[in-house]
A and B are shown apart, each in its own frame.
Chain A
Amino acid sequence: MKIIVAIKQVPDRDAPIRIATNAKGIEERELQWAMNEPDAYALEEALQLKEKNGGEVIVVSAGPERVGTTIREALAKGADRAIQVLCDDLGTRDALGVARLLAAAIKRENPDLVLTGLQSEDVGLGQTGVIVAELLGLPHSTLILHVEKTGDGITVKRELEEGWFQRIEMPLPAVLTMQSGGNKLRYATLMGIKRAKTKELKSVTAAELSVDAAAVVTLEHIAMPKKQKSTQILPGSPKEAAAALVEKLKTEARVL
């Protein structure tokens, strides 16, 4: 099976976030970056499918130069080769614009299966995989925990709300967006990191893919959210704060 995994580089979860001066994005200087976690689960599922059924795992990622480090991480974990869609305007493209870039790059490869995370941890649109499927004319399923290869198709386990699941039979080629938790994520080995340096990483630009960037939906500005409640922050040392909290819970909130 030829599997493409679309991954995104996002700000590290623990990185402090500051709004950029134009209020249209976040300050990127000194920011730490990481692989979007749902995409890491998509990569894991792809690697396991390859281990079981043979084939090739190709990583695709869109973004500026810095995205290369996250692509190398995916190669170190076991992906065979990678394609980077070079662009500096990911933040101003809408969901359709981003998906057009990825779909154009994926189409050239004619894969059997396309996997990606169910959503990104930064913008959190949760749409890219679904739109890629639409643009490629392929069937899709979302929030998938497991993929099983059957005769000439696949059976997937989809998460529904409130602890329910569903199995879906699908033909190939298909596009799936992966939910977290279906597998245990692997770490890159030292050998893997060494090998990654020699694996193929091709770059292609948005212009070469002849994808335009006109957006129907634009981000006007970013702001800190307004508080829904006035939170009483209890100051002092851990011991003082803990004692003050217990007192409040007992006498004010009356829940202890």
Chain B
Amino acid sequence: MSGILVVLEDRAEKIRSTSWEALAAALKLGSAQSVTAVVLGAQTEALAGEAAAKGVGKVVRVEHPLLARYTADAYCAVLQQLIQNESPTHVVFPHTYQVRDFAPALAARMGQALIGDVVAIEDGPVFVRQLMQGRLNGSYRHHGNGPCFVSVQTGAFRADTVEMNETTAVTTFIPNLDAAQIRTKPSEPFREAAQTVDLASAQRIVSVGRGIKEVENLGLVQDLAAAIGAELAASRPICDNGWLPMERQVGSSGQTVAPKLYLAVGISGAIQHLVGMKGSQCIVAINKDPEAPIFEVADYGIVGDLFEVVPALTEAVKAVKA
């Protein structure tokens, strides 16, 4: 066994930036020469070209007409063949929804367990991932002979650390794949009703989470947002409850925002939320729990009861604006 496979994911015929972050993570496990970048699809020439410019040891195009649209069955089947062929020490993925859908099954099929959603790689290698909704970090090790499967969290590794360079070899791997192996029939992706709120272009956002407790209490944060001149947003549980429309949700399953001011009220800061807002210029958190992970990314914090702090803040904002 030798070498590291990095499985790159694409969208709209381009390699996704989170895939380059996975490549950056792979470079913590070995030299650029030891890395094989893998692209999958029905037509992969352009994708392979993008990967080849990154100076990895080699690029493998896994090509088959049945890979035109993603299915877990097809991806598991072809990647198992490729991994058996290449026999790498590590297989690295970006931790996307798609990878979450197939990589655990692929690893299990090879008697392995995926170390998922990794945020850091330390000497050993020791893989760090978050526990308890980001309140703790766990350090994990892989044992035994099989390849070690790892997926890395979006934003945890710097894609710009990957240097551009010429890659020596691009090869094509034609897997054995039969239509009968694919048990699910996916349809074309779609969006629900057109978005009427564009959080992405908002300069200021007041965002509310579970701490608000009841739908009747939303008025408190609406008043604060109005006083600041901010858009109102929310973490997933608020939208799950139907208290605010889904289009106001910030996070991995909602919108990604980067306003000048992001004020998080009663949001603990699970990673699914943080990935959607940690690029904000100034982050303020109001939370009763001083250990809440939201404080790890906040510039300013108030530890206290939001039902007291928010009305006081609304008054203070009104006072300076008057």
Q: What residues of chain A have their CB less than 8 Å away from a CB belonging to chain B? A: 11, 13, 16-17, 19, 26, 94-97, 99, 121-127, 130-131, 133-135, 139-143, 158-171, 179-181, 184, 215-225, 227-229, 231-234, 238-239, 241-243, 245-246, 248-250, 253, 255-256
Contact mask B72-90 → A, CB, 8 Å, 1/0?
1100100000000000000
Out of B97, B135, B184, B190, which one reaches A169, CB within 8 Å?
Answer: B184
B-side contacts of A215, CB under 8 Å: 113, 143
- CB-contacts of B177-204 with A (<8 A): 183-192, 195, 204
B-side contacts of A142, CB under 8 Å: 97, 100-101
Residue from A17, A180, A246 with most neighbouring chain B CB atoms (10 Å) = A246
Check if A159 sits within 8 Å of B97, measured CB to CB: yes
Q: Which residue of B lies closest to A99 (CB)?
A: B108
Q: Tell me if B50 is interfacial: C-beta within 8 Å of chain A.
A: no
A-B contact count (CB 8 A): 259
Known contacts A165-B189, A234-B302, A180 near B236 by CB under 8 Å = yes
B-side contacts of A166, CB under 8 Å: 186-190
Q: How far apart sit A171 and B115, CA to CA, in the bound complex (Å)?
A: 30
Q: Which residue of B lies closest to A233 (CB)?
A: B301
B-side contacts of A11, CB under 8 Å: 132
23 A-B pairs, CB-CB below 8 angstroms? Answer: A17-B132, A17-B291, A96-B113, A122-B132, A124-B117, A127-B116, A130-B100, A130-B108, A134-B105, A161-B97, A167-B187, A168-B184, A169-B184, A171-B183, A215-B143, A220-B139, A220-B140, A233-B290, A234-B301, A238-B309, A243-B312, A246-B320, A249-B261
Interface size class of B (residues with CB under 8 A): 35 or more
Out of B237, B291, B296, which one reaches A228, CB within 8 Å?
Answer: B296
B-side contacts of A159, CB under 8 Å: 97, 253
Q: How far apart sit A249 and B140, CA to CA, in the bound complex (Å)?
A: 40
Output the least CB separation between A183 and chain B (Å): 9
Q: How far apart sit A49 and B143, CA to CA, in the bound complex (Å)?
A: 42
Output the least CB separation between A36 and chain B (Å): 12
Q: Tell me if B313 is interfacial: C-beta within 8 Å of chain A.
A: yes
Q: Tell me if B133 is interfacial: C-beta within 8 Å of chain A.
A: yes
Q: How far apart sit A11 and B131, CA to CA, in the bound complex (Å)?
A: 12
Q: Tell me if B315 is interfacial: C-beta within 8 Å of chain A.
A: yes
Check if A245 sits within 8 Å of B300, measured CB to CB: yes
Output the least CB separation between A151 and chain B (Å): 13
Q: How far apart sit A89 and B248, CA to CA, in the bound complex (Å)?
A: 41
Check if B298 sits within 8 Å of A229, measured CB to CB: yes
Output the least CB separation between B86 and chain A (Å): 19
Check if A245 sits within 8 Å of B295, measured CB to CB: no
Q: How far apart sit A229 and B203, CA to CA, in the bound complex (Å)?
A: 21
Out of B107, B131, B190, B284, which one reaches A123, CB within 8 Å?
Answer: B131
Q: Tell me if B13 is interfacial: C-beta within 8 Å of chain A.
A: no
Check if B183 sits within 8 Å of A222, measured CB to CB: no
- CB-contacts of B288-322 with A (<8 A): 290-291, 293, 295-305, 308-309, 312-313, 315-317, 319-320
Known contacts A130-B104, A160-B189, A180 near B117 by CB under 8 Å = no
A222-B139, A225-B134, A242-B312 provided; 7 other pairs, C-beta below 8 A? A130-B105, A134-B109, A143-B101, A166-B188, A168-B186, A234-B302, A256-B317
Q: What residues of chain B have their CB less than 8 Å away from a CB belonging to chain A? A: 72-73, 76, 96-97, 100-102, 104-105, 107-109, 111-117, 126, 129-144, 146, 183-192, 195, 204, 210, 228, 236-237, 239-242, 246-247, 252-256, 260-261, 268, 281-285, 290-291, 293, 295-305, 308-309, 312-313, 315-317, 319-320
Known contacts A241-B309, A245-B300, A255 near B261 by CB under 8 Å = yes
Known contacts A165-B191, A227-B296, A170 near B113 by CB under 8 Å = no
B-side contacts of A228, CB under 8 Å: 296-297
Known contacts A219-B139, A245-B313, A164 near B190 by CB under 8 Å = yes
Check if B185 sits within 8 Å of A140, measured CB to CB: no
Check if B313 sits within 8 Å of A242, measured CB to CB: yes
Q: How far apart sit A194 and B118, CA to CA, in the bound complex (Å)?
A: 44
Output the least CB separation between B190 and chain A (Å): 6
Q: How far apart sit A231 and B286, CA to CA, in the bound complex (Å)?
A: 12
Q: How far apart sit A122 and B130, CA to CA, in the bound complex (Å)?
A: 9
Check if A17 sits within 8 Å of B308, measured CB to CB: no
A-side contacts of B285, CB under 8 Å: 231
B-side contacts of A239, CB under 8 Å: 312, 315-316
A-side contacts of B195, CB under 8 Å: 163
Check if B299 sits within 8 Å of A232, measured CB to CB: yes
B-side contacts of A255, CB under 8 Å: 204, 260-261, 281-282
Q: How far apart sit A201 and B308, CA to CA, in the bound complex (Å)?
A: 46
Check if A223 sits within 8 Å of B111, measured CB to CB: no
Q: How far apart sit A123 and B115, CA to CA, in the bound complex (Å)?
A: 12
A-side contacts of B237, CB under 8 Å: 180
Known contacts A95-B104, A216-B113, A222-B136, A122 near B131 by CB under 8 Å = yes
Q: Which residue of A lies closest to B139 (CB)?
A: A220
